[in-house]
Structure 1
Amino acid sequence: MRSVPFRVALAVLGGPVLLSGAALALRNAWSDRLPAEVATHWGPSGAPDRATDLDVLTTWTLLAALVLAVAFTIAALVLLRRGRGVHRPLLGLASGLAALPVAALATSMLATLDAASWREASGAALAIPVILATAGAAGAVAWFIAPDVPPEQRPVDATAVAGAQSVGLSEHERATWVGGSTNAGLAVLCVVALPVVVAVVGALSGSPAPWSSLLVPLGIGLLAALGVGSVRVTIDADAVSIRMGVLGYPRRTVPLDDITSAGTTTLGVLGNGGLGVRTNASGDVAFKCRGGDALVLTLRSNRRVLATVDRPDQAAGLVNDLVRQARNRAG
């Protein structure tokens, strides 16, 4: 266990530090091929419209990467010490975010390499591949090194287990539960928000947008509405299936064998990171289309899966009864 904090620190720090060293080495190697100022911003036409002194940019981007990496590392170690565990995907995300300043430096150097002036830098199309490659490399290093530590097991209260929610399903009965929740207001907001913003910005700027330019934000909003406007849960003798949105993606199927108990809780609209599918620092996953009552599944790993559904007490009671039946058959 002593090696776990070291692996956590190495996972989050390793990628950004290695990439920072590589960027600094390239900066020195290309010193005679780079102008004093490098492009740092590109306009709508794709041409560079802003520059920064290379030495200043190098100093601030490497410093920012180091500060972010250290901050994320401290946060991960504090959560680990408090028994919240660590989740490999989130450590990979943290490392990737910490590497973004290095990606900005690499983008500016590559775009301005061998250019007589920053004004002759390459187009902005270079930025996205460089940023994705840099952040992805840091995230991959973290994913490979990081441990996956579940939250600490808490003492089990025997009286709470005995009084766990139940629907009174007998040993030889079978049942299926289908339910969920819908947030029509969220769906409408998703559809209209982007087109309204585009229209208002156009009106305020004195260049009203043609109706055809609203089709793209309208389409994006419609997809968002289909994706986060509802949650559907199906419970049967084998598993609990959770689907997000009208199309049912993302989805998750939790076998009954992986569940230790079920219960209910109340989620805030902004809790667990907001609406949609959210993962917190402990590795809990929440399927949310609204705030309010939610079903909670506690897994053998002591991580949890949450879903906002109407009448979650019924769902939790049936899950507990089905889990008991499965254990009795196995025992």
Structure 2
Amino acid sequence: MTVAAGQTRTPLPHRGRAIVLGAVLPALLLGGACALVLSWRDRLPDPVAVHWGISGVDRTGSFAELVAPMLILGLATLVVTATLSIVSGRSALNRRMIVGISAGMAAMYAVLLVGMCWVQLDVPTAEQAGDPGATIALGLLALAVVGAVAGALAGSDPPQAATGELPADAARLPLGPTETAVWIRTVTAARSWLLWTLVVVVLAGSAILGVLTGQWWLIPILAATAALVAATTSWSVRVDARGLTARGLYGWPRIRVPADEVERADAITIAPFAEFGGWGLRTDVRGRTGLVVRKGPAISIQRTGGRVVVVTVPDAERGAALLNTVAVRARTPMPDGGSSSGGPLA
């Protein structure tokens, strides 16, 4: 977003938390895991197990072959996510996502690195190494728990009410002095049937794999993932006197833009992959927060603090116009002092 001449771009909120949770904590997790497995080097067989199949260990190799891939992946991920944690995160949603991914991924790699070595401690030969199934399950659990906690601790956005006038060229919905309105639309992911087909195939495959290997933990983890996917395939978007609110299938996740923080809203056209690198709750290289479930019309909202939110939704022109209207009213109270949300728009 371009800052007008004479305006000062506000500093990133909660930057200290973002650095600690998104860069320092992941580095400590990976560094601690690396130090621990190095201290175990003399207690591991030579060669070590580096791959497991349905019937157990099916490939052996050097200690470096076991440790290096996980460590390289972890460090490469850390470089990207730690950098994003430090230089981005102007909005709470972006900050929570980036910090949560950074800490969660580091925790997962740390658990996997330690676990793959732990199942081989003090065994005479690599072929006698234990089953790593529990390690993988713990790694995924660490990803979810550590990521969720780090994201929750990343900090909320402080209230930042707009002080300037809404630009004259921002479209508005004509309403009488005491008239109010509500605009509600539902947006569903394009080709959601294809996504659900993939989910069913993956769940069926995990059940079969569970029968063959005894790794039943795959089923609840993938079922939880399917439930999360369902939450983001259909959204209800509402604009009323309070601003814009978008809710997922279960009422969560939720995105809210208060009317008094809207600097302007515009109807635009979005190409999800080209602009956001995919679909879902996203952030792009410009720091925009995107609720991007399909190609086409969207409402782009410029918020105070240099934040931008993009929501793909049908009838974006009217939704943006009403949002601009309620943003003006949030700066100038109604004559009767009321804040009724009024009747729905067709």
Percent identity over paired residues: 29
> Which of 43, 52, 56 is residue 53 of structure 2 equivalent to?
43
The 1:148–1:23 alpha-carbon spacing in structure 2 relative to 1, beyond 3 Å, is same
The 1:117–1:235 alpha-carbon spacing in structure 2 relative to 1, beyond 3 Å, is same
Paired residues for 1:1-331 under 5 Å: 11-44=21-54, 47-74=56-83, 87-98=95-106, 100-132=108-140, 135=143, 161-183=167-189, 186-193=191-198, 227-245=231-249, 247-270=250-273, 271-280=275-284, 284-329=288-333
CA distance, structure 2, for counterparts of residue 76 and residue 55 of structure 1: 30
Say if 1:165 and 1:316, in contact at 8 Å, map to a contact too.
yes
CA distance, structure 2, for counterparts of residue 140 and residue 252 of structure 1: 17
Name the TM-score, length of structure 2 as normaliser.
Answer: 0.68
Counterpart secondary structure, 2:294: coil
The structure with the largest helix share of the pair is 1
Q: RMSD of the alignment, in Å?
A: 4.3
Question: Deviation of residue 317 (structure 1)?
Answer: 0.9
Question: Deviation of residue 161 (structure 1)?
Answer: 0.3
Q: Which is worse superposed, 133-142 or 110-119?
A: 133-142
The 1:168–1:279 alpha-carbon spacing in structure 2 relative to 1, beyond 3 Å, is same
The 1:38–1:145 alpha-carbon spacing in structure 2 relative to 1, beyond 3 Å, is farther
Count of matched residue pairs: 301
The 1:62–1:187 alpha-carbon spacing in structure 2 relative to 1, beyond 3 Å, is closer
Give unpaired runs (5+ residues) of structure 1.
Answer: 151-155, 200-215
Say if 1:231 and 1:287, in contact at 8 Å, map to a contact too.
no
Counterpart secondary structure, 1:114: coil
Counterpart secondary structure, 1:179: strand
CA distance, structure 1, for counterparts of residue 120 and residue 196 of structure 2: 40
CA distance, structure 2, for counterparts of residue 198 and residue 302 of structure 1: 42
The 1:276–1:133 alpha-carbon spacing in structure 2 relative to 1, beyond 3 Å, is closer
Give the letter aligned to residue 175 of structure 2: L
The 1:145–1:166 alpha-carbon spacing in structure 2 relative to 1, beyond 3 Å, is closer
Name the TM-score, length of structure 1 as normaliser.
Answer: 0.70
Counterpart secondary structure, 1:161: coil
| Alignment deviations for residues 121-175 of structure 1 (CA, whole Å, 9 cap, x no partner) | 222332234424665687589769978899xxxxx8x7x8012110112321111
Give the letter aligned to residue 40 of structure 1: V
Counterpart secondary structure, 1:173: coil
CA distance, structure 1, for counterparts of residue 53 and residue 184 of structure 2: 51
Give unpaired runs (5+ residues) of structure 2.
Answer: 1-10, 159-163, 205-219, 338-346
Counterpart secondary structure, 1:329: coil
Give the letter aligned to residue 186 of structure 2: G
Give the letter aligned to residue 60 of structure 2: A
The 1:225–1:16 alpha-carbon spacing in structure 2 relative to 1, beyond 3 Å, is closer
| Alignment deviations for residues 163-212 of structure 1 (CA, whole Å, 9 cap, x no partner) | 211011232111111223345x512222334667999xxxxxxxxxxxxx
